[in-house]
Structure 1
């Protein structure tokens, strides 16, 4: 049942609105440095997707803790060997990197992004 809630048109609209808001100049100060938009290519569809996420950065590594992972699909694009990702407007500019998703024994999912050299 939760899967339906998170795949609903309302959530898709909210995510699209959040992505748009992150592109407004100066709004990043209000939103905070912990929220960015990720851009990635779907593993099956080949389409480009963007979604807002909360991140924690430590040097060249960024961690995305996926809230309610069983109701979301985007992180599954980074299982196994992982794949390329772009973090939009992280610290004022776009950063590319390689993301790998991990699920722990308690079912929690974290996506670790190793940023490319500038």
Structure 2
């Protein structure tokens, strides 16, 4: 289990403070996703890094965060990065994709025992 997975309440505490910052300051982004059961819209601040195939996000709190399950189930969502909104398509899981994030971040992710990632394609809206 990733180190941060031991603190399941942490996102609930930090996310309200991170959301305004994540809308404007890369590599932070806001992922907009729709609940699998409720259909409600949710927002999750995460760090996303550009790859040759789109963007990649480390699953730092565990293998199955709700935002990742929602994106995978719907096959779509939205990303807000530096004030611009993008449509998310083709979300897919990847493992050990450390080579696709900056080296210092990859080293931190390895130290935190993070090996699961979600990659997706984007198009500007």
Q: Same fold (TM over 0.5)?
A: yes
| SS at structure 1 position matched to 2:36 | coil
Contact 1:3/1:70, CA 8 A, preserved across alignment: no
**Which residue of 84, 90, 93 maps to 1:102?**
93
In the other structure, the counterpart of 1:113 is: 120
Within 5 Å, give how 1:1-118 maps onto structure 2. Answer: 5-6=7-8, 8=9, 11-23=11-23, 28=24, 32-58=25-51, 61-70=54-63, 72-79=65-72, 83-88=75-80, 90-104=81-95, 108-116=115-123
State the TM-score, normalizing by the size of structure 2: 0.65
Q: How many residues are paired up?
A: 106
**SS at structure 1 position matched to 2:7:** helix
Q: Distance in 1 between matches of 2:57 and 2:64?
A: 16
- Unaligned ranges ≥5, structure 2: 97-112
**Cα separation, partners in 2 of 1:17 and 1:99, compared to 1, 3 Å:** farther
Q: TM-score, normalised by structure 1?
A: 0.69
Report the Cα offset of residue 93 of structure 1. 0.7
Deviations 1:50-96 (A, max 9, x none): 0110011136611112113247332122337x5111111x2431111
